[in-house]
C-alpha cells in the first residue's frame, strides 16, 4: 500500500494559503469563482521549482523564502513616483496593484481610454503557469487600456507599477487592447522603494489588431531586493509590427515570461532585451513564441552583461505549427561575462512542425575582447573607460534594433548611468 | 628620442625579440624591413604596450622615460601611436565618438582642457578631407564595413588628429592598391616634422618609394642584422631576404 508522497508546503506556500483565504473573504461572489479557479490551478502546481522544466534555472521554491503580506492600498507621494523615463508621457499609475487616478495623467487623449479594473483577465492563452495563476488568485486590481482602431498616440503611454512598502507583495492585472491600424509607444516600468524587499507579480494581457505598429518598452528597475515576476500574454493580428524590449536592471530575482501567439498572417514581432546584472542578481527571460499561422517573422535577440556572482537566464521556445509555412524565426542570445563567477544559462529551442520555414538560433558567451580593448587603449583611452565603451557598444547594438528613437536615447542614458560612464563621450 | 637597448621579448613563452638595439631621434624616419616571422609586428606591439608581450631583458626608453612602466594608454598620451596592420572593427562605437573620446582622453592625461565639439568637428573635417575620409565613414561604427584602404586611411586620420611624436606604422601598405598607397603615404609625409619620430615597418620596398626613410634596418629572427641608408631597401627588393634568413640556418 503506497500513500502518495505529499510534497511538504514551504513557508511561502503556507503564507499564500492564509492570504488567499483572507482576500477571498472580501471578494464578491462573481469574482470569487475566478479567484478559486486560479487558486486551484496554482495549488495543483505549487511554487515552481527546478524539476519543472520551464523553471529549471530559476528555482523559485528555494529562492522565495516567504510570500510577503498583500500590500495595502496606499498612494506614495507623487515625487516618489518619478517614473523612470523623464519623458513627457501619458501616465497610468498602478500602486500596490491598484490604479491610482490622482497620480495618473487626466487629460483626454483621442483614441485612448483607460479604465480602472478589478484585474481579472479573461484569456490567458497558453499560459498555464503557476505564477500567472497565482496572480489571478490574489490580484488586487488593475486597468484596462484601450487604443482605438487607426489611432496614433504621439505621446508615450507610460504604465508605472509601483510597489509601496517593505515586505509586501503586489499583484496587478493589466489588459491592453490595441485596435487595428493603431500606432503607439507603450513604456511600462516597475519600481518600488529603494532598498525595500518586496514581491511584485504582474500579469499583462496584450491584444493587437491588424496593421498596427506598436513599440513596447519594459523597464524593470525594481528595488535591488525585490522579487519580480511578469507574465505576458500577447496575441497579434495580421500585418502588424510589434516591437518589444525588456530592460532588466533591478530586482534580486526577476522573471519575465512572454507567451506570444501570431493570430494573423504577415506579422513581424521583434522581441529584444538587455539584462544588466551585478552582485547576486538573477534575471530570467523566458519566451514561448507560437507561430500558429503562415508568413510571420519573429526576431528574438537578447543580450546580457553579467558581473560579480549574478546570473542571467534565457529560455526561448519558438513553435512553428504545421500550417505556419513561410515562417521566419531567428533567435540569438549574446552574453558578456565580466567576472569568473558570473553565469549565463541560455536555452534556445525550436519546435518546427511545418516544412517550408526559415528558423535559426544561437548563443555566444564571452569576456570583453582583449583585441578591442588594446585598440582603444593604444589610442590613449584608459582601461576602465575602454571597458565601459565596449560594454556600451555591446548593448547599443541590441538597443538600436528596437528602432524607436525616444526609447533608444532613454535606454542608452540608463545604461550609462548603470555603468557610471559619464566619462564616455556621448554621440 | 626613442632608445631601445638589447631588447628581448616573448609572447606566451615564445622568444621573439632577441636583442634589439635601436635609437630613433626626433625628425628621423626609420624603416624596419624583414621576412615574415622576423619579429616586426612583435616589436610594434611591444612598443605600444600590448598585454602578453613581455620584455624579458633590455630596455625601452622614450624621452628618458622607462617605457615598460607605462600602460598602452599612458604611452599613447606620452606621444606613441601605432598604426595597426589590421585595424580592429568595433561595432556599436561610432567613429566620431571614438575619435573625440581618444583625443580628450589624451588631453586629460596631459592635463589639458577637453576640445569643444565645434572645434573638434572643424578639426576632423579639415584632416579627413586630405585623406579622403568621407563624412559617411565617420558616421559608421569604427572600421565596420570599411574596405582595406578605408581602414588604413582612417588610421592615418587618427594619427593626424592625435598628433603623436612617435609613430609606428605596422605594414601600413598591406592591402592597399596604388592609389590608396599614394593617399596614405601623402598623409604620412605631411606629418613628418623635426620633432616627430617615425618607424615604418614593411615587408616591401614599394612603400619606401613614397615614404622615404633616413635609415633602413633589416630585422631577422628577432635581431637587427643590417642597417643602412635608403639604398638598402632597393638592394633587398632585388635580392630578397635570403641572405639574411639563411645566414643562421646554414
How close B98 comes to chain A (CA, Å)? Answer: 8
Determine the average pLDDT of the residues in A377-400.
94
Query: What's the gap in Å between the CA of B5 and the closest CA on chain A?
Result: 23
Percent with pLDDT over 70 in chain A = 95
- The reply to whether residue A377 touches residue B73, judged by beta carbons under 8 angstroms, is yes
Here the cell at position B133 is 575620409
- State the Cα–Cα distance between residues A411 and A274, nearest whole angstrom: 10
Cα–Cα nearest to A415, from A402, A339, B46: A402
At residue A82 the predicted structure's pLDDT band, cuts being 50, 70 and 90, is low
Nearest alpha carbon to residue A142 among A114, A184, A182, A107: A114
**Burial grade of B93 (CB within 10 A; 0-12, 13-18, 19 or more):** buried
Residues of B with Cβ-Cβ distance to A379 under 8 angstroms: 76, 98, 102, 105-106, 158, 162
Mutate to test the interface with B, among A303, A375, A383, A423 (most CBs of B within 10 A): A375
- Owner of C-alpha cell 538587455: A274
Distance from CA of B12 to the nearest CA of A (A): 15
Q: What is the pLDDT of residues A332-348, one digit of tens each?
A: 999 999 999 999 999 99
SS3 at position A16? helix
Helices (H), A113-272: 130-138
- Residue B69 DSSP symbol: G
| CA-wise closest residue to B167 among B87, B62, B18, B15 | B62
Residue A217's SS3 state is strand
- CA distances from residue B109 to A17, A379, B105, B158 in whole angstroms, order as listed: 63, 12, 6, 18
**A118 CA to centre of own chain:** 21
Helix (DSSP H) and strand (DSSP E) numbers for chain A? 7, 20
Q: How many CB atoms lie within 10 A of CB B70?
A: 17
Q: Is the pLDDT of residue A125 over 60?
A: no
- Most A CBs within 10 Å: which of B12, B73, B85, as the mutation test of the A interface? B73
How many Cβ atoms are within 10 Å of B245's Cβ, its own excluded? Answer: 18
Cβ–Cβ of B51/A381 closer than 8 Å?
Answer: no
- Terminal alpha carbon distance of chain B: 37
> Cβ atoms within 10 A of the Cβ of A174, count?
25
Q: Which of B84, B96, B105 sits opposite A380 (nearest CB)?
A: B105
Q: How far is B44 from chain A (nearest CA, A)?
A: 11
Q: What would the grid cell of residue B83 be? A: 598604426
CB-CB under 8 Å, A393 with B92: yes
A63-67, A83-87, A230-234, B121-125: segment of lowest average pLDDT? A83-87
Q: d(Cα A20, Cα A13) in Å, to the nearest integer?
A: 10
Mean pLDDT score, A359-373: 94
Tens-binned pLDDT, residue by residue, of chain B (250 aa): 999 999 999 999 999 999 999 999 999 999 999 988 899 999 999 999 999 999 999 999 999 999 998 999 999 999 999 999 999 999 989 999 999 999 999 999 999 999 999 999 999 999 999 888 999 999 999 999 999 889 999 999 999 999 999 999 999 998 888 888 999 999 999 999 999 999 999 988 899 999 999 999 999 999 999 999 999 988 888 888 888 776 544 3
Q: How far apart are CA A398 and CA A245, in angstroms?
A: 9
Mean pLDDT of the A128-155 span: 96
When pLDDT is cut at 50, 70 and 90, the band that residue A427 belongs to is very low
**For A424, nearest residue in chain B (alpha carbons):** B101
Residues in B whose CB is inside 8 Å of some CB of A read 48-51, 71-73, 75-77, 80-82, 84, 87-88, 90-94, 96-98, 100-106, 109, 141, 158, 162
CA angle B195–B197–B199, rounded 5-degree value: 170
B97 to A379: CB separation less than 8 angstroms, yes or no: no
CA-to-CA distance for A299 and A322, rounded, in angstroms?
Answer: 20
Quick check: A267 and A297 in contact, CB under 8 A?
Answer: yes
- Give the cell for residue A90: 501619458
Burial class (CB in 10 A: 0-12, 13-18, 19+), A230: buried
CA distance A375 to chain B (A): 7
**What are the two backbone dihedrals, phi and then psi, of residue A21, each rounded to the nearest 5 degrees?**
-55, -40
Whether A248 and A281 have beta carbons less than 8 Å apart is answered as no
Give the separation between CA B89 and CA A248, rounded to whole angstroms.
Answer: 28
Q: Are B47 and B7 in contact (CB under 8 A)?
A: no
Distance of CA A250 to the CA centre of its chain: 12
Rg (CA), chain B: 18
Q: pTM to 2 decimals?
A: 0.91
Query: What is the DSSP code (8-state) at residue A156?
Result: P
Nearest to B100 among A370, A392, A425 (CB): A425
Q: Which residue of B has its CA nearest to A370?
A: B51
Q: Which residue of A has its CA nearest to B140?
A: A427
Sign of the Cα torsion B136, B139, B144, B149 reads positive
Instruction: Tell which residue, A186, A233, A179, A235, has the closest CA to residue A209.
Output: A179
Amino acid at each position: 500500500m503506497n500513500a502518495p508522497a505529499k510534497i511538504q508546503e514551504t513557508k511561502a506556500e503556507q503564507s499564500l494559503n492564509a492570504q488567499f483565504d483572507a482576500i477571498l473573504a472580501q471578494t464578491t461572489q462573481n469574482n470569487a469563482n475566478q479567484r478559486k479557479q486560479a487558486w486551484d490551478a496554482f495549488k495543483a502546481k505549487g511554487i515552481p521549482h527546478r524539476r519543472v522544466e520551464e523553471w529549471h534555472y530559476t528555482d523559485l521554491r528555494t529562492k522565495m523564502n516567504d510570500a510577503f503580506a498583500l500590500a495595502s492600498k496606499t498612494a506614495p507621494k507623487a515625487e516618489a513616483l518619478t517614473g523612470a523615463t523623464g519623458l513627457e508621457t501619458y501616465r497610468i499609475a498602478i500602486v500596490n496593484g491598484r490604479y491610482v487616478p490622482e497620480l495618473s495623467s487626466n487629460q483626454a487623449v483621442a483614441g485612448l481610454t483607460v479604465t480602472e479594473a478589478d484585474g481579472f483577465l479573461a484569456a490567458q492563452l497558453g499560459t498555464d503557469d503557476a505564477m500567472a495563476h497565482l496572480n489571478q488568485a490574489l490580484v488586487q486590481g488593475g486597468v484596462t487600456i484601450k487604443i482605438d482602431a487607426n489611432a496614433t498616440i504621439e505621446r508615450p503611454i507610460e504604465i508605472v507599477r509601483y510597489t509601496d512598502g517593505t515586505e509586501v507583495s503586489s499583484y496587478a492585472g493589466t489588459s491592453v487592447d490595441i485596435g487595428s491600424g493603431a500606432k503607439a509607444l507603450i513604456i511600462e516600468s516597475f519600481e518600488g522603494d529603494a532598498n525595500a524587499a518586496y514581491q511584485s507579480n504582474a500579469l499583462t494581457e496584450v491584444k493587437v489588431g491588424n496593421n498596427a505598429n506598436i513599440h513596447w518598452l519594459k523597464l524593470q528597475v525594481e528595488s535591488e531586493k525585490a522579487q519580480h515576476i511578469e507574465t505576458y500574454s500577447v496575441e497579434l493580428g495580421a500585418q502588424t509590427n510589434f516591437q518589444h524590449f525588456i530592460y532588466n536592471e533591478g530586482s534580486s530575482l526577476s522573471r519575465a515570461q512572454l507567451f506570444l501567439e501570431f493570430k494573423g498572417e504577415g506579422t513581424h514581432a521583434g522581441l529584444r532585451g538587455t539584462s544588466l546584472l551585478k552582485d547576486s542578481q538573477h534575471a530570467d527571460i523566458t519566451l514561448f513564441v507560437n507561430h500558429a499561422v503562415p508568413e510571420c517573422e519573429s526576431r528574438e535577440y537578447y543580450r546580457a552583461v553579467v558581473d560579480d556572482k549574478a546570473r542571467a537566464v534565457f529560455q526561448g521556445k519558438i513553435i512553428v505549427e504545421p500550417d505556419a509555412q513561410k515562417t521566419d524565426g531567428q533567435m540569438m542570445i549574446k552574453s558578456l561575462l565580466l567576472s569568473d563567477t558570473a553565469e549565463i544559462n541560455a536555452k534556445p529551442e525550436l519546435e518546427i512542425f511545418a516544412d517550408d520555414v526559415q528558423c535559426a538560433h544561437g548563443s555566444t558567451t564571452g569576456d570583453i575582447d582583449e583585441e578591442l580593448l588594446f585598440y582603444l587603449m593604444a589610442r590613449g583611452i584608459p582601461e576602465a573607460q575602454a571597458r565601459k565603451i565596449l560594454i556600451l557598444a555591446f548593448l547599443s547594438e541590441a538597443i538600436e534594433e528596437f528602432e524607436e528613437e525616444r526609447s533608444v536615447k532613454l535606454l542608452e542614458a540608463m545604461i550609462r548611468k548603470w555603468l557610471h560612464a559619464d566619462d564616455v563621450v556621448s554621440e | 628620442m626613442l632608445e631601445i637597448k638589447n631588447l628581448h621579448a616573448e609572447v606566451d613563452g615564445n622568444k621573439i625579440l632577441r636583442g634589439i638595439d635601436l635609437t630613433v631621434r626626433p625628425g628621423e624616419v626609420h624603416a624596419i624591413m624583414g621576412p615574415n616571422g622576423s619579429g616586426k609586428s612583435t616589436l610594434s606591439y611591444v612598443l605600444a604596450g600590448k598585454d602578453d608581450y613581455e620584455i624579458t631583458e633590455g630596455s625601452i626608453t622614450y624621452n628618458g622615460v622607462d617605457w615598460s612602466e607605462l600602460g598602452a594608454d599612458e604611452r599613447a598620451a606620452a606621444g606613441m601611436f601605432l598604426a595597426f596592420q589590421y585595424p580592429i572593427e568595433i561595432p556599436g562605437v561610432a567613429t566620431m565618438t571614438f575619435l573625440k573620446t581618444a583625443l580628450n582622453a589624451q588631453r586629460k592625461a596631459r592635463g589639458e582642457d577637453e576640445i569643444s565639439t565645434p572645434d573638434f568637428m572643424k578639426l576632423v573635417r579639415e584632416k579627413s578631407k586630405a585623406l579622403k575620409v568621407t563624412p559617411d565613414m565617420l558616421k559608421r561604427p569604427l572600421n565596420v564595413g570599411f574596405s582595406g584602404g578605408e581602414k588604413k586611411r582612417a588610421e592615418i586620420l587618427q594619427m593626424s588628429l592625435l598628433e603623436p611624436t612617435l609613430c609606428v606604422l605596422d605594414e601600413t601598405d598591406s592591402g592597399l592598391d596604388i592609389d590608396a598607397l599614394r593617399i596614405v603615404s601623402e598623409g604620412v609625409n605631411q606629418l613628418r616634422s623635426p620633432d616627430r619620430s617615425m618607424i615604418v615597418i614593411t615587408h616591401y620596398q614599394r612603400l619606401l618609394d613614397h615614404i622615404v626613410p633616413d635609415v633602413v634596418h633589416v630585422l631577422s629572427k628577432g635581431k637587427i642584422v643590417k642597417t643602412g641608408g635608403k639604398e638598402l631597401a632597393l638592394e633587398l627588393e632585388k635580392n630578397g631576404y635570403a641572405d639574411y634568413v639563411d645566414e643562421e640556418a646554414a
